[in-house]
Amino acid sequence: MFYTRVKKSYVGLLREEENGTRLFYPVSYSKPHFMNKSVYEIWNLIENRTEEDIVEVMKKKYPKVGEDRLRKDVKHTIAYFINLEMVKEVNECMEEKVCDICMFEEKDFTNASKFIMSTGGVATDKNFLFTSNHLQGETFKSYYKAINMRTNHFHQIEVFLNVVDKETEENIGVIGIYVCPNNSVVYVTTIVLSNKSNLESALNGLETMLRNQTVKEIKIKFADDSSVDEQLFCSLGFKKESVILFETINGGDFFIYGKEIERERVC
């Protein structure tokens, strides 16, 4: 039996509190619920996994904790989520990747540049736009010119990937990544999607691609004045890791969020 999170549950987004706890407000109740660090950890593992899959991941992460205790905690936590209608049982892994991710070919740079320019560098209610905070106005237009994208790509300053609708084979977005010299960490530097509803499947596709490489973690860096909802990325499994003080163009702070690539996942 697989377990999957309910996409439109009454819980909503989890808000981070002190000591790694999370707070959420169920629609059906006036009082908030708290989720401790251990329960939240299982919550992040639960998507399209069996109980046994989750236990195996926890055993590797906490080798000094007895298996019986881990198994009991996982079983109890899954039951807790089901009772809150945050999780449901499915007979088989239900994850269908709406998006395919593929490397750029030579012809793609001009099309991608036009696609990105069509947003005008502005996020709307429909699209999704994430770029470096210093890319605004003419700087944004210059950076995403085809010639500059091509140069950055081949010098691996920012490697670009197409986001393609799996059914229609239409290009629906562009993702840019920076691969750290150790080849173990990848930073997501650009995300431009024609429809923000494709964000989760696009990131899933990226993770699948990187899972076959030596990459261990995907990271993303937000400026403190960013218009992007950081909690949205938390709901997709990213966790806040660190703060870089006074480094934005306006003298503000950067926040680093990361997500480990799980190779134990079985569907």
| Residue-wise pLDDT tens digits, 23-39 | 776 655 556 777 788 88
Task: Report pLDDT for 12.
Answer: 55
What is the rounded average pLDDT of the residues 81-100? 72
Q: Average model confidence (pLDDT) for the chain?
A: 85
Angle 146-154/108-117 helices, nearest 10 degrees?
Answer: 120
What is the rounded average pLDDT of the residues 84-99? 68
Q: What is the pLDDT of residues 160-188, one digit of tens each?
A: 999 998 877 889 999 999 999 988 999 99
What is the rounded average pLDDT of the residues 93-114? 81
Res 84 pLDDT > 60? yes
Domains of the chain: 2-90 (3.90.930), 99-260 (3.40.630.30)
| Half-sphere exposure for 79 (CA within 13 Å, toward CB) | 6
> What's the pLDDT band for 111 if we cut at 50, 70, 90?
very high
What is the rounded average pLDDT of the residues 38-66? 87
Res 228 pLDDT > 90? no
What is the rounded average pLDDT of the residues 111-129? 89
Query: How many whole angstroms separate alpha carbon 100 and alpha carbon 92?
Result: 21
Query: How many whole angstroms separate alpha carbon 205 and alpha carbon 132?
Result: 22
Task: Report pLDDT for 188.
Answer: 97
Minimum mean pLDDT among 89-98, 135-144, 192-201, 233-242: which range?
89-98
Tokens of 84: 């809150």
Res 202 pLDDT > 90? yes
Task: Report pLDDT for 144.
Answer: 96
* Amino acid sitting at position 264: E
Task: Report pLDDT for 37.
Answer: 83
φ, ψ dihedrals at 196, nearest 5°: -65, -20
Res 216 pLDDT > 70? yes
In DSSP notation, 34-88 reads EE-HHHHHHHHH-TTEEHHHHHHHHHHH-TTS-HHHHHHHHHHHHHHHHHTTSEE
> What's the pLDDT band for 114 if we cut at 50, 70, 90?
very high
Which residue in 101, 76, 82, 62 sits closest to 199, CA to CA?
Answer: 101
> What's the pLDDT band for 95 if we cut at 50, 70, 90?
very low
* Percent of the chain scoring above 90 in pLDDT: 41
Note the residue count of the chain.
267
| pTM (2 d.p.) | 0.63
What is the rounded average pLDDT of the residues 119-147? 88
Task: Report pLDDT for 29.
Answer: 58
The helix/strand count (H/E) of the chain reads as: 8, 14
Res 97 pLDDT > 60? no
Task: Report pLDDT for 264.
Answer: 47
**Contact indicator for 143, 157 with CB cutoff of 8 Å:** no
Which residue in 99, 87, 128 sits closest to 4, CA to CA?
Answer: 87
